[in-house]
Structure 1
Amino acid sequence: MTPINDNNPTPANRPVMVGLTGKRNVGKTTLANLLEEEFGFNRIHAFGAGKEAALTWFAEATGNVDRAVRMVYGDLKDKPCADLPGGVAPRYFLEKFGHFMGVDLGVDWTLAVEINKARRESPHAPIVVESVVYEAEWFRRAGGVIVRLERPDFKSPEGVESDAAQGLIDADVTISAGSVEELEQEGRRLVDWLAGERRAA
């Protein structure tokens, strides 16, 4: 784990907030799982409500709710779908919809909604945002710490707009891990570092 910006401690009067960024398949979900299961973080996604809206749209378009769930959350996300215009993969719609909500509407419609919901449900729990893309600067101003995940020698699939956007984010910490075990070890070190930052604040 490499701290880059360690001069922005989380306000001591609020639970810590961690936002994960990085290309697809670098381990964001794995680390979010660890923080949730081992350390009690409330896990959210900046596009959580948007995903639920997309699920409803896919269910209407395909006539199959179970298939729509797989298109948003599962194994059909990157598979071409004959029921979608042009036979595109569901990710095409998710990327366009996510850009519309995150950029055109803005963070008040995405991450701010999810954080408010998390704080209503668990006011004292720390928060981990599984994927920060368009909301990075707002998140930092709100007291969040942005953690970039990298996998050495890993090439993410090309042509994903959100991958390009996250590449421009100025992270506070970078974690480079080549295996799940290494990532989980770095995740535990991250929690220790965050605790130290809060004590220093």
Structure 2
Amino acid sequence: MFWTDPSAKESKSLYRVQVSLSAFAFLFSELVQYNQTQVDNIAELERRLEDAGYAVGARVLELLCHREKGNRRETRLLGILSFIHSTVWKVLFGKVADSLEKGTEHEDEYMISEKELLVNRFISIPKDMGAFNCGAFVAGIVRGVLDNAGFPAVVTAHFVPVDGQQRPRTTILIKFAEEVLQREARLG
């Protein structure tokens, strides 16, 4: 995560302080462990991580709209997806997401794929929690950005196996509400 220097007045050059990976890994590990003690199953744990991510996403949107866009927000579907894929991802993870794709089967689905999502990088999942995906936290961030920008959607994280790789690729699946598609059609 990156932050701006509060003393930089109206300067386009930003002083950025990067949070150490070990500090983030420790804090995220504590978040997962705490929530793990509060739940009875994997689905509930992922939901709690998604809720924590949602709060982060809402705040990131406010920060970036103020900092990057002069308090202007995206009004088009592809604009907000591009904003998340590039700007939000770069601020949170230090790089643009690996890919942004439109679903082939459904008109309302888009996918952001990441070869190795930071929240899954140092996580070892016990055998009894085999389906657990820490990407739910990032899905919550994406949902928080989308909902607060006026693009309600269901956002989920999925593992996608890749031939020849030990770790699967993480895909964030975004399924937009019907009202978003109707608004987009009206806008042309």
Q: TM-score range by the shorter chain?
A: under 0.3
Q: Which has the higher contact order (CA 8 A, sep 6+)?
A: 1
Query: Given the two structures, how large is their TM-score scaled by the length of structure 2?
Result: 0.26
